[in-house]
Each structure stands twice: as structure tokens, then as C-alpha cells.
Amino acid sequence: MKVFVASLATETNTFSPIPTDRAAFEDAFYAPPGQHPETPTLCSAPFVAARRRAREEGFLLVEGTATWAEPAGLVSRDAYESLRDEILDQLRACTPVDVALFGLHGAMVADGYDDCEGDLLTRARAIVGPDAVIGIELDPHCHLSDAMVAASTIIVTFKEVPHTDFLERAEDLVDFALRTARGEIKPVISVVDCRAIANFITSREPGRSLVDRIKTLEGRDGILSISVVHGFPAADVYDVGTKIVVVSDAAPERGEALARTLAKDVLGFGGNRLPPMPSPAEAVKAALAVEGGPVVLADRWDNPGGGVAGDSTFLIHELLKYPTVPAAAGALWDPVAVQFCHAAGPGARLALRIGGKVAPSSGPPVDAEVDVIAVTRDLVIPFEKSLVSLGAAAAVRIGELFVVVASKRAQTFHPDVFRNLGIDLERQKIVVVKSASHFHAGFAPIAREIIYVNCGGPYPPDPAKIPYTKIRRPIAPLDPVSEPVR
Ligand SMILES: [Zn+2]
């Protein structure tokens, strides 16, 4: 048995002003063959899962490249084609293979390629032939295209949003792929399209119950795996939208019937899918009304994980109206401010311009006299079983407000963004995080309360108002839709 594994992933926000080139992959995460760390990254967990099985079972595992760029704008043609061809050359060099595993995100859009993963997998299929197993792991915020489905033998997405289960799902994927190659199962992929942009989170209802129920349906009646593709609204491509994927063991009718039932359930969530999201002024007032602290304010639409800058200042300006309230905010992407703080050094006081640089939707910058509290060459924080670098970083203090600035764009996954720079979150009344949902597991244990805030962007918060030109219609909420389709 010979198994190949590779990973090529990013999530492209086609409305983002931040271009993505090859350096964006190499700077964020780039592991050539054999160099993948022992810990997984969000989209490269199949490496870790396949290594474990190869050690236990003695099959030959051929590792290709694994790479990830922090979500941003359009990927350059050269970046996509060079990384794609690097991986396909690695695959070609080790054929014949029984199994090819790909850790993908599923929402990569490059110049000239609206469906990068469909393109990659179609080419991979041509190399491995019709009988080899192609197994892919996707982020649920993907655009599931017909080309991706046609080229794949097995598709598994993470179930949880926030994504707490990317390694478990990779273990599922590897297990299904090995069982298929050994002739123990015959996976058939059934997809039902909800015809809706219906994102939800699974750390609260109604998403929580749906995932719990899905898990009870797997592993019996010929159903191997169920995935909910939430879709990624911040991209203008044909395949944006929410879809249900059921992988059955040679039971396509049962698979499709179940997918249709679950699609109707998701459509039935209606407008009740996301938590209420007050404005910055309302959110800070609400936080001040809570007894004790800290109250975590999640700047949901300035989440670097959604392809935007993470440098918006709306909540900081709001907090500065309450100069006696102890608070912390981070991590803002601002490499220039980081550089100035490193040059000035801890203990220095300087006039610093913070944030508000990338686009008008970032808001006006904050200009303030700051005290540099701490600096670090590399701010590394955990996210589930992976480690994420925010690069060189600094903590500054404006009166009672601490602000963390970082040189690499990444979400505020964990309180270590603050703690590693000496900020004690337990002493803060309000903590602002740049994250849409992945902060939850790390911050929930210390948060008195969590409030999701709508600062108006720069990620387009209301799909009904996004100027799509390529999306398949009809689709809710742009059009009235009542029935899922095949
Ligand atoms: Zn995601």
C-alpha cells in the first residue's frame, strides 16, 4: 500500500484588498516533503493522521508539500500554479499510488481559477487514474464544486465551527481512505445544495444540536460520514453556498435522502443562525452593564481568518471614550507599529499611530501617546492542536487600555496573545479579540460573558448586500428559496 499526502490551502476573500502571492504561503506555513511538523495545522492534519497510521500499519507514506496562506485577497496565478505543479510533480513521481490524500481549505480563488481545488483534484485524478482513492479534507467554509466532487472518492469537512475537530476529521478521512483501498467499503458521495448562504456556528444553538445529531447518524445504516459545507460568502464565485455532503457505503439513494432532510433542517434555521451583534457603542455599554469581567467582545467582521486585515479601530476608539475602564484589545495587524515599538523598546513612551491603515473600512487610525509594555520576536499561540505565529509583536498601553499589535495577520485564537506579553486578562473589564468564532474555546473559560460585535466590516457582514456577479442564482438571502436542489 502506497499513500501520498499533500496540503495546499487558503481561504480567498475576493473582496479583500490584500493580495496573496507565493511569499504569503512561504511566510505563513510552508513545509516541503518530510518537513511537516508533528503538530497539525488547520488544513494539514491529514499528514499527522496518515503518519500515525503508517507507523502502526507499515504502509509507505509519501509526503508532498504542505502550505497555507493566511486568508486574504486573490491568489496570484504564479503562486497557485507553482504550488499546484510542485505538488502534482511530487504525486506523479511516486505513482502508482493506492491513496492520495489532500488537506485543502476549499475556498482558494486565484487569478484565472475560480475553483482552484477543482482544478487541482481534476489534475490529480488524471495522474493517479480512476481506481486510486482520492480523499480530501475541507474546511466547511469552502465552495464545494462539481469538479471537486467528481474527482474525489471521499470528502470530509470539519464539523465544528469554531474548528475544534480538524485532527479528528483527518483521522476519519484517513481511515475511510485506507478501508476503501483495502476493499472494505465503497464510498459514494451524495450532495444536496441548500441554495442558501446559511453560515452558522456550532458553539451555540441551533448549530450545536445539528452537529450532535449528525454524529449519531454516522456509522450505521450504511452512512459513513456527513459533512455540512457552510460555504464562504466573501467570494464572488459560482459555487458559493451551503451544501450537505453524505458519504454512504454504496447506498446513494439513502445518502441523498438523508442529505435532503438535513438540507431542509439547515434551511429551517432561517434568520436565527447567528447570535445578536450590537454596534461597538452598544456592545461596550452592554459589557459595562455586566457585573465583573472580563467581558469578551469579538470583532467578528474584522477577523484575519476571513481574509481581512484585522486592523480596524472602531472598538478601540469606543473604549478610549471610557478612560477609567481597564481593557485590552488585540491582536491588531500593524507591522509598522510593531517595528516602532521594537525600536523604542520596552519602557519607552512614544507617539504611535495604530491600525486603520489597510482600507477605509479599517476606520481612522488611533494616534496616541503610548507606553511600550513588552515586545517579542515571535508571538506564538495555540489553536487546538496546532501552534500559530503572529510574528514579532508588541503590547502598548494607552491609559487603562492595553493594545497588542502583531506583524503577522492571524486570529486571536487564545488568551496567550495577551498573556505572553504580560497582560493579565483577569484584571480587565473588557477584552476585544479579532476573531469571528475561533477565539471561543480559548476565551470562554475566562470570559464572564461573550458579545459578538458588528463593526460594519470590512468583511461583508450581510450576504444580501454583497455585490456578487458570478454566484449561482437563485440563492437565499439574495432570492426567495424554499427547496434544496441536487
Ligand atoms: Zn472555516
> How many angstroms does the Cα of residue 165 sit away from the middle of ligand 1?
11
CA of 287 to the centre of ligand 1 (A): 27
3-state secondary structure of 468: coil
Compute the distance from residue 106 Cα to the ligand 1 centre, in Å: 10
Distance 352 CA to ligand 1 centre (A): 34
- Asked if residue 148 lies in contact with residue 106, where contact means CB atoms within 8 angstroms, the answer is yes
Across 289-434, the runs of DSSP E, i.e. the strands, are: 295-299, 327-333, 349-354, 366-376, 380-383, 386-389, 393-398, 401-406, 430-433
CA of 12 to the centre of ligand 1 (A): 11
Buried b (16+ CB within 10 A) or exposed e, 24-59: bbeebbbbeeeebeeebbbbbbbbbbbbebbeeeeb
Whole-number Å distance, alpha carbon 139 to ligand 1 midpoint, is: 5
Mean pLDDT for the stretch of residues 176-191: 98
d(CA 146, ligand 1 centre) in Å:
20
Cell of 351: 507617539
- Ligand 1 centroid–CA 214 distance in Å is 18
pLDDT tens for residues 233-255?
A: 999 999 999 999 999 999 999 99
pLDDT at 385 over 90: no
Distance 29 CA to ligand 1 centre (A): 17
Expressed in angstroms and rounded, the spacing between residue 201 Cα and the centre of ligand 1 is: 10
Q: What cell does 276 get? A: 445578536
Ligand 1 centroid to Cα of residue 289, in Å, is 32
157 C-alpha to center of ligand 1: Å? 10
Residues in CB range of 253: below 8 A, 6 or more apart = none
User: Is a pLDDT exceeding 70 seen at residue 272?
Assistant: no
pLDDT digit string, tens, across residues 415-465: 999 999 999 999 999 999 999 999 999 999 999 999 999 999 889 888 889
**Strands (DSSP E) found in 44-157:** 60-68, 99-104, 133-138, 154-157
Cα–Cα–Cα angle for 14, 20, 23, nearest 5°? 170
On whether the CB atoms of residues 331 and 405 are closer than 8 A, the answer is yes
Q: Ligand 1 centroid to 133 CA: how many Å?
A: 25
Amino acid code (one letter) for 178:
L
Specify the pTM.
Answer: 0.94
**Phi-psi label, residue 411: left if phi above 0, alpha if psi -120 to 50, beta otherwise:** beta
**CA pair distance 253, 270, nearest whole angstrom:** 27
